[in-house]
Amino acid sequence: MINEQLINPQSIVVVGGSNDLHKPGGKILHNILECYRGEISVLNPKQEIVQGVKSCKEIKDLPEIVDLAVIAIAARFCPATVKTLAREKNTKAFIIISAGFGEENEEGAKYEKEIVEAVNEAGGCLIGPNCIGVINHHHHSIFTEPIPMLDPSGADFISGSGATAVFILETGVGLGLKFNSIISVGNSAQTGIEDVLAYLDDTFDPDKSSKIKLLYIESIKDPDKLLRHANSLINKGCKIAAIKSGTSEAGMRAAQSHTGALASSDMVVDALFKKAGIIRCHGRMELATVAAVFMAKELKGENMAVITHAGGPAVMLTDSLSQGGIKIPAIEGPKAEQLQAKLYEGSSVSNPIDFLATGTAEQLGIIIDACEKDFDHIDAMAVIFGSPGLFPVREVYEVLHQKMRTCRKPIYPILPSVVNADDDIKYFQSKGNINFPDEVNLGHALSKVHNAVKPASASIQMKGVDIPKIRSLIAGFENGYLKPKQIQALLHAANIPMVKELFIRDEKDLSSKINDIEYPVVMKVVGPVHKTDVDGVSLNISGPKFFQSELKRMTHIKGFEGVIVQPMLKGTELFIGAKYEPTFGHVVLCGLGGIFVEVLKDISSGLAPLSKEEALGMINDLKSKKILEGIRGQEGVDIDGFADILVRLSTMLRFATEIKELDLNPLMGSKDQIITVDARVRIEK
Specify whether 607 is located in the same domain as 661.
Answer: yes
> Residue 460 above 50 pLDDT?
yes
Specify whether 94 is located in the same domain as 213.
Answer: no
Specify whether 150 is located in the same domain as 286.
Answer: yes
Determine, yes or no, domain membership for 82. Answer: yes
Residue after which a domain boundary falls, among 434, 450, 466: 450
* Residue 511: pLDDT band with limits 50, 70, 90: confident
**Rounded mean pLDDT, 94-105:** 93
> Which pLDDT value is given to residue 264?
59
Task: Return the minimum-mean-pLDDT range out of 6-10, 93-97, 355-359, 529-533.
Answer: 529-533
Which H helix or E strand runs over 627?
helix 625-629
| Cβ atoms of 51 and 33 closer than 8 Å | yes
Comparing C-alpha atoms, which of 641, 575, 616, 652 is closest to residue 263? 575
Specify whether 155 is located in the same domain as 280.
Answer: yes
Determine, yes or no, domain membership for 234. Answer: yes
| Domain count for the chain | 4
Distance CA 445, CA 212 (A): 15
Helix or strand or coil: residue 650?
helix
Residue after which a domain boundary falls, among 294, 318, 341: 294
Q: Kindly report the CATH number assigned to the domain that includes residue 110.
A: 3.40.50.720
The residue type at 482: L
Q: What is the pLDDT of residues 352-386, one digit of tens each?
A: 999 998 899 999 999 999 999 999 999 999 999 99
Q: Which domain holds residue 622?
A: 572-683
Specify whether 130 is located in the same domain as 159.
Answer: no
* Residue 596: pLDDT band with limits 50, 70, 90: confident
> Which pLDDT value is given to residue 517?
87
Residue after which a domain boundary falls, among 84, 116, 135: 135
pTM: 0.88
| Cβ atoms of 647 and 461 closer than 8 Å | yes
Specify whether 191 is located in the same domain as 251.
Answer: yes
Q: What is the pLDDT of residues 625-642, one digit of tens each?
A: 999 998 877 889 999 999
348, exposed or middle or buried, with CB in 10 Å at 0-12, 13-18, 19+?
Answer: middle
Share of residues in the chain with pLDDT > 90 (%) = 83
Give CA separation, 461 vs 511, 576, 611, in Å.
Answer: 45, 18, 7
Instruction: Indicate the length of the chain as a whole number.
Output: 685
Q: What is the pLDDT of residues 286-328, one digit of tens each?
A: 999 999 999 999 999 999 999 999 999 999 999 999 999 999 9
> Which pLDDT value is given to residue 462?
79
**Rounded mean pLDDT, 448-458:** 89
Specify whether 273 is located in the same domain as 334.
Answer: no
> Which pLDDT value is given to residue 257?
44
* Residue 250: pLDDT band with limits 50, 70, 90: very low
Q: Is the omega angle on the peptide bond into residue 666 within 30 degrees of 0, that is, cis?
A: yes
Helix or strand or coil: residue 525?
strand
Specify whether 13 is located in the same domain as 110.
Answer: yes
Determine, yes or no, domain membership for 562. Answer: no
* Residue 248: pLDDT band with limits 50, 70, 90: low
Q: In what order do the strands lie in the sheet with 380-384?
A: 353-354, 304-308, 380-384, 411-414
* Residue 10: pLDDT band with limits 50, 70, 90: very high
Q: What is the pLDDT of residues 27-38, one digit of tens each?
A: 999 999 999 999
Please, what is the average pLDDT of the chain? 92
* Residue 333: pLDDT band with limits 50, 70, 90: very high
Determine, yes or no, domain membership for 675. Answer: yes
The residue type at 393: V
> Residue 253 above 80 pLDDT?
no
Q: Kindly report the CATH number assigned to the domain that includes residue 636.
A: 3.30.470.20
596, exposed or middle or buried, with CB in 10 Å at 0-12, 13-18, 19+?
Answer: buried
Query: What letters, b where the CB count within 10 A reaches 16 and e where it falls short, cover 9-47?
Result: bebbbbbbbbbeeeebbbbbbbbbeeebeeebbbbbeeb
* Residue 660: pLDDT band with limits 50, 70, 90: very high
φ, ψ at 270 (rounded to 5°): -55, -45
How far is C-alpha 389 from the geometric centre of its chain's CA atoms?
Answer: 40
φ, ψ at 345 (rounded to 5°): -60, 135
> Which pLDDT value is given to residue 247?
64
Ordered alpha helix ranges (H), 374-501: 394-406, 422-430, 439-450, 467-476, 484-493
Specify whether 219 is located in the same domain as 325.
Answer: no
* Residue 461: pLDDT band with limits 50, 70, 90: confident
Specify whether 100 is located in the same domain as 157.
Answer: no
Determine, yes or no, domain membership for 253. Answer: yes
